[in-house]
Amino acid sequence: MTFDLLSVSRRYRGQARDLHREHVNPKWMDAMGLIGFDKEYVRALGCALWDSEGNRYLDMIGGYATCNVGRNHPDVCKALADFVTSQSASMVCFDAPLLAGVLARQLKGRIGRDLDRVFFTNSGTEGIEAAIKFARCATGRPTILHESGSFHGLSTGALAINGCSSFREGFGPLCAHSRNFPRGDLSALEAHLATRDVAAVVMEPIQGKGVFLHPHGMIAEASQLCAKYGTLLVIDEVQTGLGRTGSFLAIDQEGDVRPHMVVLSKGLSGGQVPVGAVLCRADVWGRVFSRLDRAIVHSSTFHMNGLAMAAGLATLAIIDEERLCERATLAGARLRAGIDSIATQSPFISAVRQRGLMVGIEFAAPESLRLRLAWKVTQALDPNLFVQAVTIPLMRDDRILTQVAGHAIPVLKLTPPLVINDEEIDLFTAALARAVRALEDSGGPAWTALSGIARNAAERRWSALRSRLGSEPLPTGTHRDG
């Protein structure tokens, strides 16, 4: 019998959630079920998804900002198909894969900044891990500095510079030599740098968790401080890069920033194949790969795999041909105007933060006593809950995917594919207006849905605790890395 992928998909159609519940991650299935996101998607194109019942959805998450060129862009699909059907010699390992050389050259051509070496990875996290290692090796210093609220991935190295404590809980002790400074605080940064034990400062140009932008000029000043104290600057463009904010890199809009490394991933392969890249100054690279016997002192088996390289090359061509950086600026402005007009009328929206197609809508306690009480009750039940009063109706009533911007952060986040058109933007803003207006009815469906979820979540937590207490002793102390 010959293997046929399509018949496997047909045979198991409708069973995805059960399979995951049984074999993969039942907790994730519970979470998706609670907020009504437990769909089985079977087709995707551009910003659209279709479920197994033929319903169409508008994707405002964009695969965590991986689908910049739109889902299943025909040129990415063709590049992948061409690569597979051409019987290319992939994964030889003891060779110089052609497409990796071409992609490295093309990335350097777009980024410049004397970043002359490209190290490919399979993810953003791996890029950050590489940057941490390269920085320590090149400087001989131990400490890696990061901003509060940062997110750079979840492997132990990347987690050590993760500014969201919820991700670290239970996984310590992590690297002792990481420190953080308050987001945007240049004097705190300088105080750390002055100790001269800091190998690198790792920064996101715009923090993904909460969509926090830096004051204009701050990153350029941080860059100068790094130069003054001999510290390397690592710019994490995993989420902001590849046109997302209206320029190829977000730091292209930040003035004179001179990074020693730039980390890319997510949008580099058109949302199809794991990929990442660290662009690195030649002198830094030379101190890591310093001798013949260290030629692959940092590496990973799949890091230059042909599928990722082919998808990467197609993606760069699409970004140029379809002028997606410009598109992100224009579409972002339209989206922003729509959201601003909703925000000015809503007692719940306290701020809108946006650059290009990276948008955060922040919610806060309203002034009216009646609504403030409803807000406080929800916050007390669970600080992660409130924004779900917007994501749930958007999904339930309008089939639109949106997400909360981070743990206990009352921010709705949007990172749609950069190919989103005006009609889709207007459809989204009309739906958002309805969902936000419904919040003003404190006895209305949004709040009823919320209290239902809160009760449900609390019951689950309680029954989990009860069964744990019944079956095994609770640990006497849990380590929580600072």
Ligand X SMILES: Cc1ncc(COP(=O)(O)O)c(C=O)c1O
Chain positions contacting ligand X, by CB under 6 A = 64, 123-125, 128, 151-153, 204, 208, 236, 238-239, 265
- How far apart CA 323 and CA 115 sit, in angstroms, is 24
CB of 355 to ligand X, least distance (A): 14
Q: Report the residue number, 47 or 264, with the smaller CB distance to ligand X.
A: 264
Q: Report the residue number, 240 or 388, with the smaller CB distance to ligand X.
A: 240
What is the CB neighbour count within 10 angstroms for residue 63? 17
- How far apart CA 403 and CA 252 sit, in angstroms, is 27
- The residues near 264 (Cβ < 8 Å, ≥ 6 apart) are 107, 127, 237, 238, 241, 242, 276, 277, 278, 279
Q: Phi/psi at 72 (nearest 5 deg)? A: 50, 45
Note whether 277 and 107 are within 8 A (CB): yes
Q: Report the residue number, 50 or 302, with the smaller CB distance to ligand X.
A: 302
Tokens of 448: 């009823």
Which residue number has the CB closest to ligand X?
124
CB of 432 to ligand X, least distance (A): 23
Q: Report the residue number, 403 or 429, with the smaller CB distance to ligand X.
A: 403
Tokens of 53: 């019942």
Q: Report the residue number, 126 or 481, with the smaller CB distance to ligand X.
A: 126
Q: Report the residue number, 125 or 223, with the smaller CB distance to ligand X.
A: 125
- How far apart CA 272 and CA 43 sit, in angstroms, is 14
CB of 403 to ligand X, least distance (A): 11
CB of 307 to ligand X, least distance (A): 16
CB of 80 to ligand X, least distance (A): 19
Q: Report the residue number, 212 or 428, with the smaller CB distance to ligand X.
A: 212
CB of 418 to ligand X, least distance (A): 16
CB of 429 to ligand X, least distance (A): 25
Which residues does residue 206 pair with via DSSP β-bridges, in sequence order?
A: 213
Q: Report the residue number, 246 or 267, with the smaller CB distance to ligand X.
A: 267
Q: Report the residue number, 203 or 449, with the smaller CB distance to ligand X.
A: 203
CB of 277 to ligand X, least distance (A): 12
Q: Report the residue number, 211 or 371, with the smaller CB distance to ligand X.
A: 211
Q: Phi/psi at 22 (nearest 5 deg)? A: -85, -35
CB of 2 to ligand X, least distance (A): 34
CB of 107 to ligand X, least distance (A): 17
Q: Report the residue number, 328 or 342, with the smaller CB distance to ligand X.
A: 328
CB of 208 to ligand X, least distance (A): 4
